[in-house]
């Protein structure tokens, strides 16, 4: 199974499939069996890094459309 990441308009980043989440110390989050999680993209969540729905009341606006990224710079 692969991992699907969806950038929601005016909201979170949803990750679903097989994934693991770690903090900066390398400690793994215990997701209690979840195969889908939403990360906060607006900065308003009281449960960072996860979305708690606060984007709806904090006025976050960001519409995203898939696009081709520029080539990776060569060193
Ligand atoms: S994206 Fe939902 S609370 Fe920030």
H-type alpha helices, the chain: none
Cα separation, 6 vs 66, whole angstroms? 10
CA distance 27 to 68: 33
| 39-67 pLDDT per residue, tens | 999 999 999 999 999 999 999 999 999 99
pLDDT, residue 75, reads 86
Give ligand 1 pocket residues (Cβ under 6 A).
Answer: 11-12, 40-42, 44-45, 51-55
Q: At residue 1, does pLDDT exceed 80?
A: no
Residue nearest ligand 1's atom 2 by CA = 51
d(CA 31, CA 50): 11
66: left (phi over 0), alpha (psi -120 to 50) or beta: beta
Q: In what order do the strands lie in the sheet with 3-7?
A: 3-7, 13-17, 36-39
Q: Return the pLDDT at 45.
A: 98
Q: Which domains does the chain have, with CATH numbers?
A: 1-62 (3.40.5)
Q: How far is the CA of 53 from the centre of ligand 1 (A)?
A: 5
Distance 68 CA to ligand 1 centre (A): 25
Centre of ligand 1 from the C-alpha of residue 61, in Å:
11
């Amino acid at each position: 199974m692969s991992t699907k990441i969806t950038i929601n308009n005016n909201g979170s980043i949803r990750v679903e499939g097989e994934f693991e989440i770690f903090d900066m110390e390398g400690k793994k989050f215990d997701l209690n069996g979840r195969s889908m999680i939403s990360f906060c993209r607006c900065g308003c969540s009281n449960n960072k890094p996860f979305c708690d729905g606060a984007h709806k009341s904090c006025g976050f606006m960001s519409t995203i459309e898939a696009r081709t990224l520029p080539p990776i710079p060569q060193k």
